[in-house]
Amino acid sequence: MPSNFACLGFVRDPLHEDELFALLDRAFHLSRRLGVGLDGAHVHRWAGEDGSVLVVEVDGAGGVVGVTPSLVGRPGVRLADLRRVSVDVVTATALGPDQEPVAPLAVDLEERRFLDTHEAAADASVVALGRDVALADADAERTVHSYGVGDGVARVPQQDAGRARLTGTVLAVQERRNELTDLPYRVARVDTVLGEVDLALAVPGPEPVVGDVLTGEVYLVGSVPALLPT
């Protein structure tokens, strides 16, 4: 099962700590400062020409307190009732075309340090890091099961509560190379019950084509630029 970082070409698995620390140091020094979070953490964001993203959070002494691998994505999901329920996890409700609630989910949000509660609906880009994804039957139902929530109510969140099981239809596929490492990875735009999400896949790995149905375990990362400080 590939790591979240391998899904975006940041590392080759198995993950080595020394390699990861060197990568974070390089990304941090090339990053843009987004601001200071509600808890005092300084949030920095690096984005490559390929679209890969690293959000690095540091404390006042410069120690790393959080890292989120992500992707520059197009908004494709409408989220409401965003609530930060732990250091790493935000719960939200995905809305359908008529603004009706579709599914609850837990997501690792790029802007989580700036969030307490945001009840109004907002456009979001959602990235699914493909940990264990495979082709499904063509008639498989589009579904999502977010492990971080149960029956629409947030459970006691775990560090890995952004995990979900997701099924959707491939709309487009791109082959990319991570700007920092030159390692390949693959991005599929997928139509899901949440809306359109970007599924990032490690190489070697699944090689979907347009029209395929994919299903499996992913790690959800979101971005809601409206939450950034002005």
Give the type of residue at 171: L
> 3-state DSSP helix/strand/coil percent for the chain, to nearest 5?
10, 50, 40
The model's pLDDT over 12-66, given as tens digits with 9 standing for 90+, comes to 877 788 888 899 999 999 999 999 999 899 999 999 999 999 999 999 888 888 8
Position 190: which residue type? V
Which whole number is the average pLDDT over 210-224?
96
Structure tokens at 86: 């732990």
Q: Which pLDDT tens digit goes with each residue over 158-210?
A: 556 789 999 999 999 999 999 999 999 999 999 999 999 999 999 999 999 99
What 26-33 contacts at long range (C-beta under 8 Å, 24+ apart), as own/partner pairs, is: 26/180, 27/54, 27/56, 27/180, 28/56, 28/58, 31/56
Is the whole model's pTM more than 0.95, yes or no?
no
